[in-house]
Amino acid sequence: MKLDYDLRKLYLDALAPQPGERVTFINDFPQEKDKITDAYNHRAEMTATWHAVMVKLGEELGLRVEPVVTIDLFEPAAGKFSADGYVNGRAVNLDEIMNSWGEKDIVIAITGPSITGELVRRLGVQKFRFASAPNVTAYFEGFRADYAKIPLRFEILTHAIARAVAAEMRFRYNGHMWLCTFDLRGQRYQFKECGAAHRPGEFINLPSGCANVPPYAGIENDVRGPSQTEGDIPALLKGELVVYRINQNKIYEIVGDGPNAAREREHILDPAHPEQAVITKLGLGVNDTARCNGAHVGDEKTMGMHWGHGPAKHFPDTIWAEHPIGFDMDFIFPGGSRLAVFRNNRYDKRLGDVF
């Protein structure tokens, strides 16, 4: 498998492996032949290629690179994780391997279903660090990014998010305009997609590069009062215009005449599941080579804006440089001062040269 990106540099920038550390790759692959698909075969080849690059780097740096651990994955969920483990075709005690990880370990998981939750569950005690690459291919554009720049972009944005009281957004499409404001009062960014896991207990997804913040949802008896997240957000779902109408951080109406709008109404506005209508994420992708490709881990890293709703933070669309919907965004700070974040679907260059 030939890669069109410098994987060695990605390892050095994103994981900063040190002499004396140990690296373990995990790849999911079923033992039953009738379950094997082209996707499994591709990820297995990708894992072998990535592993070989790490072995060469390990020879330079003094790393211990273990043979690939192949798992037959039954249940990926955190706390319910279940899989059988194999090394070089032989069964191994997977629990023993995973329990052995500590501060000198780096884990790289290339799987279909994400096992990020299970790995995160272990971090608090075991303090290894990891990169999780769920549902990827070796040719995702986001791997071509300069991973030395992603943390700098992330730091600039999260520093601004920490001070902002609101994100004000303006959308344009076919002569129509929509406005929406996300209430960021007292909210804090999340560190999961900063492009670097250099210290024990840190982790990233690969491809990486997204600054996330949950808008203030409104909490009973909170001094902030009701949420001020409100307005309209358009999206193009398979070419169909769908508009989400929001008040007090909840979607209350979905406008559109097509089948995609109907499906969104059925899913999001189901009275039996009101949590699906809650806005749970504002995401700002900072990976300049990532492109929307239908995979969650790729779409959310694309240099643009996406927003999520519900416990799973599902996001309908990513508005980025080439998107037909025009988009501007400002952060609003206490006292009313503003910072231009997006102009015409691109990060404003006044944010810094790294953009």
DSSP 158-203: HHHHHH-SEEEEEEEETTEEEEEEEE-TT---B-TTSS---STT-E
pLDDT in tens, 60-116: 999 999 999 999 999 999 999 999 999 999 999 999 999 999 999 999 999 999 999
The pLDDT of residue 250 is above 70: yes
| Mean pLDDT for the stretch of residues 196-220 | 95
Report percent pLDDT > 90 for the chain: 94
Judged against a pLDDT cut of 90, whether residue 296 lies above it is answered with: no
H/E run at residue 31: none
If pLDDT is split at 50, 70 and 90, which confidence band does 192 have? low
Mean pLDDT throughout 8-27? 98
What angle (nearest 5°) sits at the alpha carbon of residue 316, between those of residues 232 and 352?
A: 80
3-state secondary structure of 352: coil
The answer regarding whether domain 7-139 maps to CATH 3.40.50 reads yes
Ranges for all domains in the chain classified under CATH 3.40.50: 7-139
Please determine, for residue 263, whether its predicted confidence score (pLDDT) is greater than 70: yes
pLDDT, residue 193, reads 81
Global confidence as pTM:
0.90
- Dump pLDDT digits (tens) for 301-321: 999 999 999 999 999 999 999
Reported confidence tier of residue 294, pLDDT bands at 50, 70, 90: confident
Residue 332: what pLDDT? 98
Is residue 182's pLDDT more than 70? Answer: yes
Could you give the C-alpha distances from 192 to 19, 106, 228, 283, 315, in angstroms and in order? 25, 16, 26, 12, 17
User: Which ranges of the chain does DSSP label H, i.e. alpha helix?
Assistant: 7-15, 38-61, 94-99, 116-126, 150-163, 259-268, 296-299
- Tokens representing 145 are 């990014």
Indicate whether 298 pLDDT > 90. Answer: no
Rg of the chain in Å (alpha carbons): 21
Query: Band of the pLDDT at 190, cuts 50, 70, 90?
Result: low
Q: What is the pLDDT of residue 76?
A: 96
Statement: residue 191 has pLDDT above 90: no
